[in-house]
Chain A
Amino acid sequence: MNDDTLLLRQVHPTWIQSGRVTSQVFKPTPKDQQCLSVYNGDQITPADSWRHFTENLGCQSVGVLSVSVAECRQLNLNARPDPGPFPEHAVIDFGQHRGAQLEAKAKQLRALAVQRGWQYQV
């Protein structure tokens, strides 16, 4: 992974309304232990990540958005490989960011991802 590596994030169908995705897509839930699951874009294409997510993991996704490792670093978020669940798995670690800080990071990541556009869409 380097600065240009894209981190691929799946979008649940309930988290898109009239084409707009929620910032929750980029916010770890309390059960995520502050780490947001993504795919390492150096190891898998957006389309293959969608297939893996929906077919191998049996989860729902209407498409794939992305942010880069450099963008995460600029927001003081640490992105790193986490091949435990499967080889292409990575995480964006929100560390000690909670409350308003967490909300702000999620909104900023969403804005960057939306600006980059869909990497894959059903």
Chain B
Amino acid sequence: MKTIPFLRPRLTGARFEGKAIPLEFLKDLSALEEMIVEMAKFFFIKDHPDRKRLPRGFTEGIELRLSGLDEGSTIPIISLVVTSATLFPPEGQAYLERARDEVIRAISTTERHQGITGLPGKALGYFNRIGRSLRDGEAMEFPTPDGQGVARLTKETRRRLLLTSTDIRELTEEVTIRGTVPEVDQADMTFEIGLPDGRKVKAPLEPQYLDTILDAFNGYRTAARILLRGVGRFNRAERLLGLDSVEHVSLLDPLDVPARLEEIALLKDGWLDGKGQSPPREGLHWLGQAFTSYYPDDLPLPYIYPTPEGGLQLEWTLGVHEVSLEINLFSHSAYWHGLSLDTGEEISQSLHLEEPSGWSWIVTEVQRLLGGVA
């Protein structure tokens, strides 16, 4: 067995900060191997138009392996390993290295908006899998072939690479979807997900998720929703067409905050019978993050409603207490009002929800109104 150093992409972003690689990312590296091998074959045939077949052993008995992690950082060490008993033609290694360099060059030129040279359009389809698990703020950084720079594959670069090829009609992305289950076809083992905008898309029904999907289906009329993670298929205009695979499904709380915010995000100006300002998307995003960060899981979730002024009103019914929290999504200020329907006792408080102390006040007050039960 012969081991040859081949590639050392540096992984950056939040998930890679612990000097560890999420297992799901190995799929991306596997797809990268597949692409490089196929490109090596492509370049060989291109250089030898007179030949109909590849030399024996050109790809068999060789593979790219993850042979380690660079000490002190998140750099997977990928080696070219020759396992075949047959002699490995020296030119095979050269073509693999050329393929590697062309793939990196394609990433680099796309990142710098300089177009792509060297790769056939169809080959770019491999980027449907390479880099698919990258999230916002994450990147795979490859040293460029000239040793002078770095080519960064990000979600955005990957998307541009795919759109460069007119052969590619559909793109795949890892998605997280919240929706209803209006239809289940147990014969075809598929189900439909009702999206917040009213559209429905089809997904494969994996046996391990059957019970959860049926629960959501049976609860459709009471707006039962699921959280689904999987691989979505999009057209070039970024419209979700369906799910290629499903990797996680769970039933959501009926008052799930992100799901409700997604619904509210669809409101247009004039939503309240001609009146009613649509809430700002940035504000909804901010609230979703802040709520997740500061509101404990064990407290009752609020009901959430839009206000005519483009804000939100969160409401809780806590025993005899009726509580509202009106939030200005532009200034991130809020107004708390609690009323005891028994005694008429009221509590009003202006809050700044940019500050953790504002959320802390809310949490304390909800706990107090619950009688310290939570």
Q: Check if B273 is an interface residue, CB within 8 A of chain A.
A: yes
- Chain B residues lying within 8 Å of A57, measured Cβ to Cβ, are 273
Nearest Cβ on chain B to A56's Cβ, whole angstroms? 13
- Chain B residues lying within 8 Å of A30, measured Cβ to Cβ, are 308-309
B347 and chain A: residue at smallest CB distance: A100
Within 8 A of A (CB), among B331-357: 337, 339, 341, 344, 346, 348
Please state if B254 and A18 are interface contacts (CB–CB under 8 Å). Answer: yes
Q: Kindly state the separation between the CA atoms of A95 and B210 in the bound complex, as whole angstroms.
A: 56
Q: Kindly state the separation between the CA atoms of A20 and B255 in the bound complex, as whole angstroms.
A: 11
Contact of A22 among B260, B267, B303, B339 (CB under 8 A): B303
- Chain B residues lying within 8 Å of A17, measured Cβ to Cβ, are 255, 260, 303-305
- Beta-carbon contacts of B244-279 to A below 8 Å, as 1s and 0s? 000000000011000010001001000111010000
Given contacts A107-B322, A107-B339, contact A14 B308 (CB under 8 A): no
- Beta-carbon contacts of A67-96 to B below 8 Å, as 1s and 0s? 000000000000000000000000000000
- Chain B residues lying within 8 Å of A108, measured Cβ to Cβ, are 339, 341
Please state if A100 and B272 are interface contacts (CB–CB under 8 Å). Answer: no
Please state if B271 and A23 are interface contacts (CB–CB under 8 Å). Answer: no
Q: Check if A43 is an interface residue, CB within 8 A of chain B.
A: no
Please state if A60 and B273 are interface contacts (CB–CB under 8 Å). Answer: yes
Nearest Cβ on chain B to A1's Cβ, whole angstroms? 25
Please state if B255 and A100 are interface contacts (CB–CB under 8 Å). Answer: no
Q: Kindly state the separation between the CA atoms of A20 and B322 in the bound complex, as whole angstroms.
A: 12
- Chain A residues lying within 8 Å of B54, measured Cβ to Cβ, are none
- Chain A residues lying within 8 Å of B308, measured Cβ to Cβ, are 29-31
Please state if A104 and B304 are interface contacts (CB–CB under 8 Å). Answer: no
Q: Check if B315 is an interface residue, CB within 8 A of chain A.
A: yes
Contact of A12 among B260, B272, B303, B324 (CB under 8 A): B272
Please state if A24 and B305 are interface contacts (CB–CB under 8 Å). Answer: yes
Q: Kindly state the separation between the CA atoms of A47 and B309 in the bound complex, as whole angstroms.
A: 30
Q: Check if B374 is an interface residue, CB within 8 A of chain A.
A: no
Please state if B315 and A22 are interface contacts (CB–CB under 8 Å). Answer: yes
- Beta-carbon contacts of B307-340 to A below 8 Å, as 1s and 0s? 1110001010100001010000000000001010
Please state if B272 and A14 are interface contacts (CB–CB under 8 Å). Answer: yes
Q: Check if B76 is an interface residue, CB within 8 A of chain A.
A: no
A115 and chain B: residue at smallest CB distance: B341
Q: Check if B283 is an interface residue, CB within 8 A of chain A.
A: no
- Chain B residues lying within 8 Å of A58, measured Cβ to Cβ, are 273
Q: Kindly state the separation between the CA atoms of A110 and B322 in the bound complex, as whole angstroms.
A: 10
- Beta-carbon contacts of B215-231 to A below 8 Å, as 1s and 0s? 00000001100000000
Q: Check if B9 is an interface residue, CB within 8 A of chain A.
A: no
- Chain B residues lying within 8 Å of A15, measured Cβ to Cβ, are 305
Q: Check if A36 is an interface residue, CB within 8 A of chain B.
A: no
Please state if B267 and A100 are interface contacts (CB–CB under 8 Å). Answer: no
Nearest Cβ on chain A to B180's Cβ, whole angstroms? 13
- Chain B residues lying within 8 Å of A59, measured Cβ to Cβ, are 273
Within 8 A of B (CB), among A11-41: 12, 14-15, 17-18, 20, 22-24, 29-31
- Chain B residues lying within 8 Å of A103, measured Cβ to Cβ, are 324, 337, 339, 348
Given contacts A59-B273, A103-B337, A107-B324, contact A24 B255 (CB under 8 A): no
- Chain B residues lying within 8 Å of A20, measured Cβ to Cβ, are 303, 315, 317
Nearest Cβ on chain A to B223's Cβ, whole angstroms? 7
Q: Check if B131 is an interface residue, CB within 8 A of chain A.
A: no
- Chain A residues lying within 8 Å of B264, measured Cβ to Cβ, are 14
Could you list 24 examples of A-B contacts with CB < 8 Å? A14-B264, A14-B271, A17-B255, A17-B303, A18-B303, A20-B303, A22-B315, A23-B315, A23-B322, A24-B305, A24-B307, A30-B308, A30-B309, A31-B275, A31-B308, A57-B273, A58-B273, A59-B273, A60-B273, A103-B324, A104-B346, A107-B324, A110-B322, A111-B341
